[in-house]
Amino acid sequence: MAPVAYRVTSRTRETEDTVTIGIVPVTESIPTPAAGQFCMLYAPRVGEVPISVSGVEASQSRLLHTIRAVGAVTKALCALDVGDVVGVRGPYGTAWGVEAAAGGDLLLVAGGIGLAPLRPVVHEVLRRRRRFRRVTLLVGARSPDEMVFRGEIASWQASARMEVRTTVDYATAAWKGDVGVVTTLIERLTIDPEVTVAMVCGPEVMMRFAAAGVMAQGVAPQRVLASLERTMQCGIRRCGHCQLGGLFICSEGPVLPWSRVAPLLARREL
Amino acid sequence: MKTIAELIAEQRFFRGLDRDSLDLIAGCGRNVHFAVGQRILTAGEPADAFYLLRSGRAALGFYVPERGTVVVDTLGGGDVLGWSWLFEPYRWQFDADALEPVSGVAFDARCLRDKCEADPRLGYLLTQGFARVMLGRLQSVRLRLLDVYGTGSGTR
């Protein structure tokens, strides 16, 4: 339960309110996180929050976390500088299970900062590209300035190793991508539902419509995976803060098949 | 070479339409191509056609003084461009420009309206198809009003 000390080795500003920090263990390290898992990051003297792992570097010890400054703890984490120390617990939760999609098509749908937990999936797929058939990444953001990993998205598009489509709600004159919510891109795809696994990540409203769009193309709900976000405090199914009905999102999630979460999300009292 | 009827039968907008209806609609269609940057529709001008995009991308926008053309939507392969031809005063409400080389089918509005008048069943099918498109675009706008990327990302 005690956090392990990690030192900040890089700090990249993604958008006005979002920062990616790279951290390495000071001495002891946590086990290597799988794509989709999260860590509890402790900002000294402020508090602790769950943050998805947005990258694991080749050395397996350097972790990347992409953090949006929305409250006291995340603001403190975003303000960390190179050389500062942060506490890390984890990794916790379920993974995307990229291997389960091998041999078939993979559709990734990301909204806003939801691309962060999917980024390790993209890296894993690109490392073993031949194991997958058609790979498609759809990314939506409010505006071009609010799209995270813009440079990396451009390099993925340029590499042509997978289909990458970007869309924003509000375009600038320089924007060359699409305009409209990310869900509109789904209906333009030709999906082979029998062999497609979809992974959606973003704000819950977006995921509901994205999942509906994918299922409208015939993909079974158990082949649609979503990463849920709920207030997590302990990360180890003790405190119950993250409970969604009988589910502990910190341990049974955050990645869950849509078939399992849809009935729970439909209940307003949850 | 495929006929217009064969080309449009492959598109999701016309999915489920019977052969006779497709032939009637195809009789008003012609193949069109637009180069990058080429204007497809201009706001205020007569809405004398609608377009089924087969490939490429087009931007739907509106000219705002001191801001230039503000793009409100982009359309791609399989999408329908333009519904002002269905309703009086038959004038385009937005501009549309090709973002990529666009290939599609343009349907003559007068020709289609006349056929729909003469064949209410065809008119119903086509109106239903456009109602579906409008519903989709309305839902998309509503989602944007919800600001789906700005919410639910934690408060701590």
Torsion angle, alpha carbons of B111, B115, B116, B118, to 10: 140
A to B CB pairs, distance under 8 Å: 92
- Per the domain annotation, does B71 fall within a domain? yes
Residue B148's pLDDT is 80
Chain A contact for B72, CB < 8 A?
Answer: yes
In a domain, B110, yes or no: yes
Give pLDDT, residue A142. 93
Between the alpha carbon of residue B68 and those of residues A104, A170, A173, A187, B120, the distances in Å are: 44, 14, 8, 30, 42
Q: Is the link from the previous residue into A91 a cis peptide, with omega within 30 of 0?
A: yes
Cβ separation A140–B149 shorter than 8 A = yes
Q: Could you tell me the residue range of the domain that residue B85 belongs to?
A: 29-146
Question: B109 in a domain, yes or no?
Answer: yes
CA of A222: how far to CAs of A102, A114, A211, A257, B87, in Å?
Answer: 16, 20, 11, 5, 43
DSSP track, B43-72: TTSB--EEEEEEES-EEEEEEETTTEEEEE
Give the SS3 label for residue B110: helix
| ipTM (interface predicted TM) | 0.85
Q: What is the mean pLDDT of residues B101-110?
A: 97
Q: How many domains does chain B have?
A: 1
- Kindly state whether residue B91 falls inside one of the protein's structural domains: yes
Using CB atoms, pick whichever of B70, B73, B156 lies closest to residue A180: B73
The CATH number that applies at residue B88 is 2.60.120.10
Fold of A98-222: Rossmann fold (3.40.50)
Q: Is the dihedral of CA A150, A224, A183, A264 positive or negative?
A: negative
Percent of chain B clearing pLDDT 70 (strictly above): 96
B 74-103 residues with CB < 8 A to A: 74, 76-79, 99
Q: Where are the domains of chain A?
A: 4-92, 98-222, 228-270
In a domain, B129, yes or no: yes
Q: How far is CA B51 from the centre of its chain?
A: 5
Question: E strands within A113-244?
Answer: 135-141, 163-168, 178-179, 196-201, 224-227, 243-244
**Residues of chain A contacting B, Cβ within 8 Å:** 47, 49, 68, 70-74, 111-113, 140-142, 146, 167, 169, 171, 173, 175-181, 183-184, 187-188, 202-206, 209, 229, 231
Give per-residue burial for A30-63: e unless 16+ CB within 10 Å, then b.
beebbbbbbbbbbbeebbbbbbbbbbbeeeeebb
Q: What angle do CA A141, A145, A146 make, to 5 degrees?
A: 40
Is the CATH number of domain A4-92 2.40.30.10? yes
Mean pLDDT per segment of 10 residues, for chain A of length 270 residues? 93 95 95 94 94 86 94 95 95 92 95 95 94 96 94 93 95 90 90 96 90 95 90 76 80 88 74
Query: A141 vs A187, A204, A228, B9, B147, CA distance in Å?
Result: 18, 14, 18, 34, 10
